[in-house]
Chain A
Amino acid sequence: VNVGLPHFLTVGAVLFALGLFAVMSRRNTVAILMGVEWRSRAMCNAGSTAR
């Protein structure tokens, strides 16, 4: 398997979905912030990949 752009973007999508899940399911503010952190990391990952 040749690692390409879709693979990196898929990892970003997994992180984004997990962050979304954490934000929606957690009550703890710190945990919600961690979820937000992932979503931003996922978007940075996508941006870095697509540059």
Chain B
Amino acid sequence: VIRDLVFVLLALLTVVPAFWVVFSRNIVHAGFALLFTLVGVAGMYGFLGADFLAVTQLMVYVGGVLVLVLFTVMMTHVPAAKRSRHGLDRLVPPAVFAAAVFGVLYKVITVVKWNVGEASTSPTTTEIGTQLMTNYIFPFEYVSIVLLAAMVGAAILIRERSHAGSDDAIAEEKQEARP
């Protein structure tokens, strides 16, 4: 009974703020609602015995990504005239498509006979670390190379833009300096 109650509370903590994020016009409110959703998901990971995932979720997503999103939202000013106003014609097709996708997923979830194993009760962090450094060393290193490539790409993109921006600024200054 307690297990069911915990699941229902975690599911509500996850899903209700998720609806709030979708239907909230205020992006700051949406960001704060996302906080509760991510905490709920972390709780579910812990509930399922995935302790490493739960802690990573809290540290990386709640502590890192969400703070980044909120800072981005608060530091960028969107003029009131440019704020998007959702008409029904803009909301109905995505809603129908999302409902259809959910219907298919729900059908698959309920029809398929899942091979359910026992959840481990021991900590998983040591095992994950051992596996990453032994059996899964190639995927681990491959992902690190992909991340490095993404970082270098982002740096190059920013550099090119800032160079173009500074060139334009110099040209404008020269034009203004001409008598």
Residues of A in contact with B (beta carbons under 8 Å apart): 1-11, 13-18, 20-22, 24-28, 30-31, 33-34, 37-38, 41, 44-45, 48-51
> Which residues of B lie under 8 Å from residue A34 when comparing CB positions?
21, 30-31, 34, 69
Report Cα–Cα, A41/B62, bound state, in Å: 12
Contacting residues of chain B (89-117) with chain A, CB-CB under 8 angstroms: 90-91, 93-95, 97-99, 101-102, 105-106, 109-110, 114, 116-117
* Inter-chain contact B114/A5, CB cutoff 8 Å: yes
Chain B, residue nearest A14 (CB) = B15
* Inter-chain contact B44/A24, CB cutoff 8 Å: no
Q: Does B27 contact A (CB under 8 A)?
A: yes
Residues of B in contact with A (beta carbons under 8 Å apart): 3-4, 7, 11, 14-15, 18-19, 21-22, 27, 30-31, 34, 37-38, 41, 44-45, 48, 50, 53, 61, 65, 69, 72-73, 78, 84, 86, 90-91, 93-95, 97-99, 101-102, 105-106, 109-110, 114, 116-117
> Which residues of A lie under 8 Å from residue B78 when comparing CB positions?
28
* Inter-chain contact B102/A27, CB cutoff 8 Å: no
Chain A, residue nearest B94 (CB) = A24
* Inter-chain contact A6/B11, CB cutoff 8 Å: no
Please tell me which one of the listed residues B3, B98, B110 contacts residue A17 in the complex, with CB atoms under 8 A apart.
Answer: B98
